[in-house]
Amino acid sequence: MGPLTGVKIIELAGIGPGPMAAMLLADMGATVLRIERREAVDLGVKKPLKYNLLLRNRQAIALDLKDPQAVALVKELLQNADALIEGFRPGVTERLGLGPDECLAVNPRLVYGRITGWGQTGPLAKAAGHDINYIALTGVLNAIGRQGQLPSIPLALLGDMSGGALYLTIGVLAALLEARQSGKGQVVDAAIVDGTASMATVFYGLVGAGTWNPQRGSNVLDSGAHFYDVYACADDELISIGPIEGRFHTELLRHLEIDPAQVGEQNDPRNWPAARVLFAEAFSRRTRAQWCELLEGTDVCFAPVLSFAQAPHHPHLKARGTFVEVDGVTQPAPAPRFSRTQSAIPTSPQSASVAGIDEALAAWLPQNQIDQWRKKNVMGDGPP
């Protein structure tokens, strides 16, 4: 099920944006085979397999890619693949004999997707880094935070998952479409710095126009304005508001029982500090549940600030089925949604094991070839 049914992708095991992109493609129906390492390595935050949700919806085999026989198996699998995803440092797959030139020689239609932080080229290309470093270099981190404070550290959603995984996914899908027309594959160089910079395009436009104040926490969208922020309620729970448009702001003032004359011109930064005090006092008079009852569903641009534990239970998200439970683990459902080729409910993350080789390779090789590779003892159990 899903719009990518029939598309086959090899994923060389990595962390963060690579697995996220593979998950998105698998969620949409692609058959993704994950090539795990046979030995344990330090790959991010450790967790039990069933909670490693980025590994859902696909099978895995374990190979030692320093073994020429294992490399030969990957190349045989690539003959039946539409794409490959890898997230090593530049030059690693080339040294393994699985670089773009070698893989495209095996399958000229192959889309070779590469995800790194700094990109395949440039002075920093081979340096280590993480999400915080990539968003820092692009100017994005400097813009996030409150006035007079150091930049706030956002979740790795911003760099790894958005600037990285989403741009890799978009690039792979675009290259797959082009390959169907031209019959030729190509390399997709997805760098988190490039993707993060791309996401900030609108803000670079504001900077160019001279309408973005470089001081953190002094603009409408960065907590500078009283009408685009988070406030505490009587029970210390939090709510968010964002009525940027004048008519929505006026509607919120009505619900808060605040005289517009007390606030003054909405978009005059000189009025924001005093208006913030008025808003804080107003929101502190009721509990979050009371504000939800009053403001949810109105045009004041309101939502409660929920925790990861609370979000799946919100009536709107429950009604939409935004979250699903798989093997006792609550997790986001596949997105986006399709009217005709609906994505299936996710399957639990699978470990690479000798016992599961037949099932993992069933979509890739005939049984007699699987048996031959078994006899060569190339595949083993994944890391514990």
Has residue 284 got a pLDDT over 70?
yes
Has residue 197 got a pLDDT over 80?
yes
Angle between helices 192-199 and 167-182 (to 10 degrees): 100
Q: Compute the distance between CA of residue 310 and CA of residue 110 in angstroms, rounded to an integer.
A: 43
What is the mean pLDDT of the segment spanning 303-317? Answer: 98
Has residue 29 got a pLDDT over 90?
yes
Q: Compute the distance between CA of residue 284 and CA of residue 344 in angstroms, rounded to an integer.
A: 44
Do 8-199+323-375 and 220-232+238-304 share a fold?
no
Q: What are the sequence ranges of the domains in the chain?
A: 8-199+323-375, 220-232+238-304
What is the mean pLDDT of the segment spanning 56-60? Answer: 96
Structural domain 220-232+238-304, CATH architecture: 2-Layer Sandwich (3.30)
The pLDDT score that the predictor gives to residue 44 is: 66
Asked about 130 being catalytic, the answer comes back as yes
Alpha helices of the chain — where are they, by DSSP H? Answer: 17-27, 68-78, 92-96, 100-106, 131-137, 167-182, 192-199, 201-209, 246-256, 260-263, 272-283, 288-295, 315-320, 357-361, 367-375
The pLDDT score that the predictor gives to residue 40 is: 73
Omega before 17 within 30 of 0, i.e. cis: no
**CB-based burial label for 236 (10 Å; 0-12, 13-18, 19+):** exposed
Predicted TM-score (pTM) of this structure: 0.95
HSE toward the beta carbon, residue 179, CA cutoff 13 A: 22
Residues 6+ away with beta carbon under 8 Å from 27: 2, 56, 57, 334, 335, 343, 346
What is the mean pLDDT of the segment spanning 342-362? Answer: 94
Radius of gyration over alpha carbons of the chain, in Å?
A: 25
Question: In one letter, which amino acid is 167?
Answer: Y
Cβ 350 vs Cβ 61: under 8 Å = no
As a dihedral over the C-alpha atoms of residue 336, residue 338, residue 344, residue 347, rounded to 10 degrees, the angle is: -10
Please state whether 8 falls in left (phi above 0), alpha (psi between -120 and 50) or beta: beta
pLDDT tens-digit series, residues 235-276: 999 999 999 999 999 999 999 999 999 999 999 999 999 999
> DSSP for 324-335?
EEETTEEEEPPS
Q: Compute the distance between CA of residue 283 and CA of residue 291 in angstroms, rounded to an integer.
A: 8
Has residue 200 got a pLDDT over 70?
yes
Asked about 226 being catalytic, the answer comes back as no
Least reliable range by pLDDT among 39-53, 190-204, 277-291? 39-53
pLDDT tens-digit series, residues 73-106: 999 999 999 999 999 999 999 999 999 999 999 9
The pLDDT score that the predictor gives to residue 43 is: 62
The pLDDT score that the predictor gives to residue 259 is: 97
pLDDT tens-digit series, residues 363-381: 999 999 999 999 999 998 8
Q: Of residues 64, 130, 255, 314, which has the active-site annotation? A: 130
Cβ 85 vs Cβ 18: under 8 Å = yes
Rounded to the nearest integer, the mean pLDDT of the chain is: 96
The pLDDT score that the predictor gives to residue 143 is: 97
Angle between helices 167-182 and 17-27 (to 10 degrees): 60
As a dihedral over the C-alpha atoms of residue 98, residue 39, residue 22, residue 308, rounded to 10 degrees, the angle is: -150
The superfamily CATH assigns to domain 8-199+323-375 is: Crotonobetainyl-coa:carnitine coa-transferase; domain 1 (3.40.50.10540)
pLDDT tens-digit series, residues 116-173: 999 999 999 999 999 999 999 999 999 999 999 999 999 999 999 999 999 999 999 9
As a dihedral over the C-alpha atoms of residue 129, residue 133, residue 134, residue 140, rounded to 10 degrees, the angle is: 170
Has residue 112 got a pLDDT over 90?
yes
Q: Compute the distance between CA of residue 308 and CA of residue 331 in angstroms, rounded to an integer.
A: 10
The pLDDT score that the predictor gives to residue 329 is: 97
> DSSP for 267-299?
T-GGGHHHHHHHHHHHHTTS-HHHHHHHHTTSS
Rounded to the nearest 5 percent, the helix, strand and coil shares of the chain are 40, 15, 45
DSSP state of 6: T
Q: Compute the distance between CA of residue 258 and CA of residue 252 in angstroms, rounded to an integer.
A: 9
Q: Of residues 160, 194, 222, 229, which has the active-site annotation? A: 160
Residues 6+ away with beta carbon under 8 Å from 320: none
Residue 42's pLDDT band, with cuts at 50, 70 and 90, is low
Has residue 39 got a pLDDT over 90?
no
